[in-house]
Structure 1
Amino acid sequence: MKISETQVLIIGGGPAGISCAIWLKKLGVDCVLLEASAQLGGLQTRSPYENLWIPGVQGKTGQQVAASLADHAAAVGVDVRLKCPVISVDGRQVTTAMSVFTAPYLVIATGSQPRTGGFTASDRIIIGPGVGMEALEVKGKRVAIFGGGDNAFDQARFARDRGAKVTIFSRNMPRAQTLLQALIPEVGVVVGDYAADQNAMTVNGEPFDAFGIMFGFEAMAPTGLTLELDNGYVRVDRFGETSLPGVYACGEATDYWHPCVTTSAAHGIQVAKQISIKLQSYSSKSVN
């Protein structure tokens, strides 16, 4: 199989990976962006909700934000390979089903995935927020939401608004924003240990029609890379470099800042700039 060479190889086409690729392109650095799915945008492609947290962007759903990011990448000519999941990584050599790539710099922008907490997804057990929960028929049904963070309370509110009878189960005191908790005062919140049976669809012996699993997220990392982790996320220094020299990570794979589209994009830009500085330094040394 032919090996293709580039200066920077980016794995993952969410906000961090796209922003990194756009800036590298504008900085004159050759890069290839590999995305496993059929579209760019990462977790935003799963969000049918208006994203109210991006400064200067109003009235757009997460899915529309994803489309805008993809349009921007296309407009500047980023080399994007869709439906190109990474099979393995060996040093700086990355193997996909169709090609083998090599580059002196590798950027892990694979984002995060919902934690399962031991649950198995089904037509009645939805893991993580977004389109799966929205597709669930909940009117008049009993829905148990597991978790105490923002997503748990957000998804409880959305399910309530669609006619569900919702109960939130959180092993610890909820950490969701006070504002989000205040929006659903009538929703019961059970704090403490609980016994959930996903086969019988019961919690503490009480029957439910559906479960929503909102235990937060954890990093997705390509097979073959042995990276230092921090609570399930890739550990990076202040420049975005991992424990492996020349291998960077950005966005929600790192949990470096509060994870959201804006901080992920900024982190991708930071990594792009740092790599471009290193490439320029190497080029200057070679000339001298």
Structure 2
Amino acid sequence: MSPNPPARVMIIGAGPAGMSCALWLHNLGLEPGLIDSEKAPGGAMQLNFLNNNWVLGQRNMSGLEMAARFAEHIDSIGVPLLLETRPTHIALDGAGFRVTLETPEGLRSEEADAIVLATGTRYRGRELLLGLPGFARCDPGRLRYGPHCFTRLSVLASKRLLVIGGGDNALENATLALEAGARVTVATRGQFRGQARYLDRLAAAPECALHADARLTDLQSSANGLTATLEGAAGRWQIEVDRVHLLAGYAPNSGFLDATLGQGLAAPERDAAGYLVVDAQGRCSTPGFYAAGDVGNPAFPNILSALAQGAQVAKTIESDFKNASRT
């Protein structure tokens, strides 16, 4: 009796979670394949412009440099990687799946015994301001969103900056801008929830004003930049700024599933914010689907947890198929 062939696993998303999962699946003797809609692997690491001091052993490397190192590892072990590729249809096919892919060369069909969703998150940006009075007439060069707020901070010397957001990214961005010589205002709809070291530094700086429970209600072009109207418990007030940075968090890349799943294939469960709901081992509610990384991790999205979850999902898939072969 011949042994069962190794399970074929399609991993959608070639960020740290997807590449970690592919590495572990390969080492465990399964057959992984990676696809990603972008031109280069790395996911959110491609937008991490600051030097890293959080991933052990990778000190002072940017996200771009780490992404290149991860991708080189995947290439060295021969795991197939299709870039600028996205799934357009996922259908049941016997005990597995048939996936139609849109590639730069056209449509192609692939078989998979399991599917790993490692599509990560996207930063929330310009779409949040589209209905704001005056926004459409503002100079787009004076507006930055998400990770792009961290580029070319040196040009902010002696400039007036409004940062919208109250989490770690917003407070770190405000701190770096302050260190670059900017005069900074930070406003958030709720309470500040970022790290105390950033909040304490900003609160102690005379060149910084912090406004909790405040929201941006109007943004107009002015002769010297932008006029921002803020509204909060203290009423309404206006400030003149040279630039606005919007750091309003992230949303999961899970919406593509709604138009992709074929008849009879139940969509994996998602929470109210769209994050995939998984069990402790990374299984989705739909049999044969697994999730790793930020798309299923609203509590602590980062490179470290993504790498760990990718490895965990690979072990889960190996265990699930080993158990299935015994029945």
* TM-score, shorter chain, exceeding 0.5: yes
CA distance in 2, matches of 1:194, 1:144: 12
1:126·1:211 contact (CA, 8 Å) conserved in 2? yes
1:119 partnered with 2:129: yes
Displaced runs of 4+ in structure 1, greater than 6 A?
none
- What is the letter of the counterpart of residue 124 of structure 1? R
- What is the letter of the counterpart of residue 98 of structure 2? Q
Q: CA deviation at 1:119?
A: 2.3
Q: CA deviation at 1:232?
A: 3.0
- What is the letter of the counterpart of residue 108 of structure 1? L
Larger radius of gyration between Structure 1 and Structure 2: 2
- What is the letter of the counterpart of residue 179 of structure 1? R
Note closer, same or farther for the CA distance 1:89–1:213 as it changes in structure 2 (3 Å cut). Answer: farther
Q: How far does the alpha carbon of each residue in 1:60-113 deviate from its partner, in whole angstroms, 9 at most, with x for none?
A: 122111111111111222111112133344453333223222312111000011
- Bigger drift between 193-202 and 29-38 goes to 193-202
- Structure 2's unaligned 5+ residue stretches are 1-6, 231-237, 262-266
Q: CA deviation at 1:18?
A: 0.4
1:94·1:101 contact (CA, 8 Å) conserved in 2? yes
Report the counterpart of residue 3 of structure 1 in structure 2.
none
Q: CA deviation at 1:29?
A: 0.7
CA distance in 1, matches of 2:109, 2:23: 22
1:25 partnered with 2:31: no
1:114·1:216 contact (CA, 8 Å) conserved in 2? yes
2:33 counterpart SS class: strand
Q: CA deviation at 1:237?
A: 0.9
2:50·2:150 contact (CA, 8 Å) conserved in 1? no
- Bigger drift between 55-64 and 28-37 goes to 55-64
Note closer, same or farther for the CA distance 1:128–1:158 as it changes in structure 2 (3 Å cut). Answer: same
CA distance in 1, matches of 2:220, 2:269: 36
1:194 partnered with 2:215: yes
Report the counterpart of residue 269 of structure 2 in structure 1.
228
- What is the letter of the counterpart of residue 196 of structure 1? T
1:269 partnered with 2:311: yes
Report the counterpart of residue 82 of structure 1 in structure 2.
83
Report the counterpart of residue 118 of structure 2 in structure 1.
109
1:119·1:198 contact (CA, 8 Å) conserved in 2? no
Q: CA deviation at 1:160?
A: 2.3
Q: CA deviation at 1:198?
A: 4.3
Report the counterpart of residue 99 of structure 2 in structure 1.
94
1:188 counterpart SS class: strand
- Structure 1's unaligned 5+ residue stretches are 1-5
Note closer, same or farther for the CA distance 1:34–1:198 as it changes in structure 2 (3 Å cut). Answer: farther
1:18 counterpart SS class: helix
Normalised by the size of structure 2, how large is the TM-score? 0.78
How do 1:99-248 residues align onto structure 2 when only pairs under 5 Å count?
Answer: 99-116=108-125, 118-119=128-129, 122-129=140-147, 131-135=148-152, 137-184=155-202, 185-186=204-205, 187-198=208-219, 200=221, 201=226, 202-204=228-230, 205-221=238-254, 222-223=256-257, 224-225=260-261, 226-230=267-271, 231-248=273-290
CA distance in 1, matches of 2:99, 2:246: 33
2:149·2:173 contact (CA, 8 Å) conserved in 1? no
2:268·2:289 contact (CA, 8 Å) conserved in 1? no
Identical counterparts, % of pairs: 30
Q: CA deviation at 1:162?
A: 2.8
- Bigger drift between 137-146 and 239-248 goes to 137-146
- What is the letter of the counterpart of residue 269 of structure 2? E
1:48 counterpart SS class: coil
- Bigger drift between 84-93 and 177-186 goes to 84-93
Report the counterpart of residue 9 of structure 1 in structure 2.
10
1:15·1:261 contact (CA, 8 Å) conserved in 2? yes
2:49·2:150 contact (CA, 8 Å) conserved in 1? no
Note closer, same or farther for the CA distance 1:45–1:245 as it changes in structure 2 (3 Å cut). Answer: same
How do 1:24-103 residues align onto structure 2 when only pairs under 5 Å count?
Answer: 24-91=25-92, 92-98=97-103, 99-103=108-112
Alignment root-mean-square deviation, CA: 2.3
Q: How far does the alpha carbon of each residue in 1:148-169 deviate from its partner, in whole angstroms, 9 at most, with x for none?
A: 1100011112222333221110
CA distance in 2, matches of 1:88, 1:141: 49
Q: CA deviation at 1:251?
A: 0.5
Count of residues in correspondence between the two structures: 280
Normalised by the size of structure 1, how large is the TM-score? 0.88
1:229 counterpart SS class: coil
